[in-house]
Structure 1
Amino acid sequence: MTKDDITYVVFFYSLVVASIIDRFFVIDRHKGHYGAGVGMTALLFLCGSEILYPLVNVGINTIIILCFSRKRWSGILSFIFTSAYLFYFRYYCFASSLTNMFMMSTTLKMMSVAIDHAKVNEFPKHNDDTEFQLTNEITFEHLIFYALHYIGLVGVPFYTYKTYSDYINLPFKHHSSDWQYKSWICVIDSFIVILGRQLLNYFWPFSYFLTDEFLEKRSIFYRIWIIYPLGFDFVLRIYNAFIMANIPCYISGLGAYPDFTKPECGHGPTINIEKMKMLSKENLHDVTFSYKTIENAKIKKVYFLMQFKKSIKYWNRTIQFWLYKYVFKMVPYNALKKPATMLFSSYWHGLQLSNLLSLFFVSLIIYIEERWENILKGKKFSSFHKCIRTVLKIHILYNLITIFISQEWNVIVRYQSSVYWNYIVILSLLLLSSFFVRP
């Protein structure tokens, strides 16, 4: 593992310790102070003087939210400022990757509060709807506590201000079920993932992928095949961050809601809101709780669903919720919704050519897949057909991951030229043939 990987692992395990202290030793009225204090300490320790960058982002957005809360354009103002400030930070400040992660987190949180708060004032008659239940109770103190809370400090899982407010004010955090079981499963999974990554990096290090020996002396079959261990290593790396980020949520109870409210990822409860509010501490012992609000990935579905579009919906789910609610739904023209969402996603991850290419091909793949879904609609598929489609999906997915992690254009071109741009050939054939095959 790289130095950054080790730092992230230590950071996540430190948050686990912080969440244990939070659950057993911090009283309710101090949980906001404690969460922000731990977050601030982590920022100071990991970022040093670079802590000023995310703090400026939080500070100016707080002014926008509190001083212009009666203006319906305050959400747009926050979006424009935060996007511009992220550009300045990325291309003029040259900060560390850790500071970049904290900036990404504060970007999501502050934009979401500003946009939701603007909606409350634009559509006051909908204040009782779950979509707008931010209320007008936002204070400077609570906003800072939300922005700097140690859970979600590196961007995942994203949770709304309302979810944070429910965590602070509702008694569910003390009665959430299965938190010990779920936490231990995550710890075990994390150790397995770390071990798997060590083996993958030992036998197929990414550094070898960049060498002349790999391109000149290895057979084309090996060059095509190597994207599988490299892609799997990348998936495991991100997946480990997801499951480690979930542990503090399970332990502290953040994002835990009664199962009868049918919570959705990122959003929280969708039904029986009033019934949930009427619950008291005395009648919580028999309630089953769900953590779907903060659970970020379902890796089995990512790999074993044969449809590409359905597979990626189970990856980085809380961020996808944010993109859908605060970008996709805000774009006024249907034709621009998907391109704008993909463009902002690339911008948020880092406006590099490799990111743009990866996300462009995601859109193209979904378009091709939808064409073939219409052609094959109503037909039954054999197990062999499903297997072929799943393998093809994974092959294309790993090519996109290879582009994403290569970053530099010359590295992308050298490798793809050595394997004859096979995934583009496959996509081109599928696209062209879809115009000639009848349903």
Structure 2
Amino acid sequence: MKDDIIYIVLLGLCIGFGQFYRKIKDSEQKKWIGTAVGLLIVLTASGFHTLHMLFCYLVCSLIIIYFNRKSCHLASFAFMFGYLFFFRSVTYFGYRAPPGHTNMIQMILTLKLVGLAFEVNAAYTKSKEIESSKKKDDSSVDALSENEHALLKLNMLDIFNYSFNYIGVLTGPYFTYKTYRDAIYLPFSTKADCIGATVDKLKVIPVYAGLFLLIAYIWPLDYAMSSEFYEERSFIYRLLYVWPTFFIFRMRIYTGILLSECVCTMAGLGAYPKVCENKSGHGPSKDCLSMISDSNAIDCDFETVRNIDVVNTEKCWTFREAMKYWNMCVQYWMAMYVYKRFPSKKYRTLATLAVSAIWHGVYAGYYFCICAAPFYLPVEDLFVKLFIKEATGIKLKVMNVICWISKFFAFSYMGIAFLLLTIDKIWFYYGSVYHFAYIMWATLYVVGVLIAKTRKSKSKRMEKVEQGDAK
């Protein structure tokens, strides 16, 4: 509870400070004021443990600037994730565990510094392609953008300001160096409706926070670990207990992520013209520099820093689709720097989920939860193909509702491992429900495969009969 209060107070102060910050006109002044406030937040939340973040910044900056740029991204990835593992394991070496919010700061810093190394590597690779094309008189490769030039000329202070700017330093969302730089040098933050965008998010936060407190009071997670829960409650009650626990988790995440988004929207970070077709984490998918003008009529949005789509997460039918709307900026990072870069197409999904689990923490619950998704998704995909893909009318509506229930049961069943964290607690709960979901999913997959084979055999027989009739 103490950590939650500190978290809310710091985020509230950051949101309020944005009203002043986005109006700073001098770019250099804006950079350093943002960094000074960011460092103050880090020191307030972490105290002596701030040394962890400063050490990571120093080492990773040296790697990005002085290491071979063909492989600086890999070296940064190895160092930052290796240090993240050490950071969470300091208690084994006799040191005191860092505060909870320090862990979140370290997590976001890891994404930013590794992501920056990948951005530098991409700019370097493109510069070499341009040099090669000039030698061949080939003009098919576009010239380096202003941001790419800046990436190739990075210095220690540039990286320091990006790493510790107050926006997102506590809990994210993740944003690229380009997004940060655009917020400093481009005028969109003065043209976007920052207050309106922030108020729209703040309106719904009390609802999520209130539901979190209410349901957590009625169905506390600790009760699932009690002897009374196992001895006096029925199997159905124990099985369905995952629903309120995951609901509590969702409301807490919605509250935290939306507050973090408010820090960005109030400061004007991530504001771009809508015509640029902005995407979460990435920013503009089209060149929007031509849209800069002195007119106040530019219609901007904050899709770049949109980290969660609550409505679509709740109402979409499938597990696979819901994953796309959850923690979207982090998913962008995982997709760009792990999934697309992983050398084996066959194992890239598993590798991405494993990196995600490692990033979340060292507890077994993260691996039980995140790495369980590849075992459920084939079941869902198979039954969608068999019963929903070609369904219409009432049948389609009924099957979609069944799929929606299955989606949230799967999220809830996996999610309780994320909350219980340790193997003994996870095994206690799953044992209390006889590992029902995993057995059910395996059975459904076998049944689905048999149905698919039966349909395929039937289809072949029908084709032969039709061919025989034709003759």
Structure 1 length normalisation: TM-score? 0.94
- Runs of 5+ unmatched residues, structure 1: none
- Local SS of the residue matching 2:281: coil
Match of 1:51 in 2: 50
Matched, 1:424 2:438: yes
Q: CA deviation at 1:132?
A: 7.9
Q: CA deviation at 1:28?
A: 3.7
Superimposed CA distance per residue, residues 277-304 of structure 1 (whole angstroms, 9 cap, x where no aligned partner) = xx13x12x11100111000111121121
Among 153, 166, 181, the alignment partner of 1:150 is 166
1:13-412 paired onto structure 2 within 5 Å: 13-24=12-23, 27-68=26-67, 71-92=69-90, 94-124=97-127, 125=130, 128=143, 133=148, 135-177=151-193, 179-276=194-291, 279-280=292-293, 282-283=294-295, 285-376=296-387, 377-380=389-392, 381-412=395-426
CA contact under 8 A between 2:41 and 2:170: conserved in structure 1?
Answer: no
Q: Which one has the largest radius of gyration? A: 2
CA contact under 8 A between 2:183 and 2:189: conserved in structure 1?
Answer: yes
Give me the whole-angstrom Cα distance separating, in 2, the residues matched to 1:130 and 1:158: 22
- When residues 132 and 347 of structure 1 are mapped into structure 2, their CA distance, relative to the original with a 3 A threshold, is farther
**Paired amino acid for 1:88:** F
Give me the whole-angstrom Cα distance separating, in 2, the residues matched to 1:188 and 1:40: 29
Give me the whole-angstrom Cα distance separating, in 2, the residues matched to 1:131 and 1:402: 46
- Runs of 5+ unmatched residues, structure 2: 131-140, 456-471
CA contact under 8 A between 1:303 and 1:390: conserved in structure 2?
Answer: no
- Local SS of the residue matching 1:248: helix
- Local SS of the residue matching 2:446: helix
Give me the whole-angstrom Cα distance separating, in 2, the residues matched to 1:420 and 1:346: 25
Give me the whole-angstrom Cα distance separating, in 2, the residues matched to 1:384 and 1:336: 35
CA contact under 8 A between 1:74 and 1:114: conserved in structure 2?
Answer: yes
Moved more, 22-31 or 123-132: 123-132
**Paired amino acid for 2:108:** S
Give me the whole-angstrom Cα distance separating, in 2, the residues matched to 1:365 and 1:160: 32
Q: CA deviation at 1:27?
A: 4.3
**Paired amino acid for 2:355:** F
- When residues 191 and 139 of structure 1 are mapped into structure 2, their CA distance, relative to the original with a 3 A threshold, is same
Q: CA deviation at 1:79?
A: 1.1
**Paired amino acid for 2:247:** F
CA contact under 8 A between 2:24 and 2:30: conserved in structure 1?
Answer: no
**Paired amino acid for 1:161:** Y
Q: CA deviation at 1:378?
A: 2.7
- When residues 408 and 135 of structure 1 are mapped into structure 2, their CA distance, relative to the original with a 3 A threshold, is closer
- When residues 399 and 291 of structure 1 are mapped into structure 2, their CA distance, relative to the original with a 3 A threshold, is same
CA contact under 8 A between 1:260 and 1:272: conserved in structure 2?
Answer: no
- When residues 46 and 272 of structure 1 are mapped into structure 2, their CA distance, relative to the original with a 3 A threshold, is closer
Superimposed CA distance per residue, residues 179-207 of structure 1 (whole angstroms, 9 cap, x where no aligned partner) = 22221122222222221111112211222
- When residues 201 and 374 of structure 1 are mapped into structure 2, their CA distance, relative to the original with a 3 A threshold, is closer
CA contact under 8 A between 1:116 and 1:132: conserved in structure 2?
Answer: no
- Local SS of the residue matching 1:123: helix
Give me the whole-angstrom Cα distance separating, in 2, the residues matched to 1:319 and 1:252: 20
CA RMSD after TM alignment: 1.9
- When residues 25 and 257 of structure 1 are mapped into structure 2, their CA distance, relative to the original with a 3 A threshold, is closer
Q: CA deviation at 1:98?
A: 1.3
**Paired amino acid for 2:403:** R
**Paired amino acid for 1:382:** L
Give me the whole-angstrom Cα distance separating, in 2, the residues matched to 1:215 and 1:4: 31
Give me the whole-angstrom Cα distance separating, in 2, the residues matched to 1:300 and 1:403: 24
Q: CA deviation at 1:131?
A: 12
Give me the whole-angstrom Cα distance separating, in 1, the residues matched to 2:259 and 2:34: 17
Q: CA deviation at 1:337?
A: 0.9
Residue identity (%)? 26
Q: CA deviation at 1:341?
A: 0.6
CA contact under 8 A between 2:365 and 2:421: conserved in structure 1?
Answer: yes
**Paired amino acid for 1:72:** K
Structure 2 length normalisation: TM-score? 0.87
Give me the whole-angstrom Cα distance separating, in 2, the residues matched to 1:101 and 1:26: 31
Give me the whole-angstrom Cα distance separating, in 1, the residues matched to 2:402 and 2:146: 41
Q: CA deviation at 1:426?
A: 2.3
CA contact under 8 A between 1:258 and 1:290: conserved in structure 2?
Answer: yes
Q: CA deviation at 1:83?
A: 1.6
Q: CA deviation at 1:129?
A: 6.9
Superimposed CA distance per residue, residues 356-386 of structure 1 (whole angstroms, 9 cap, x where no aligned partner) = 1112211111222223333343333432221
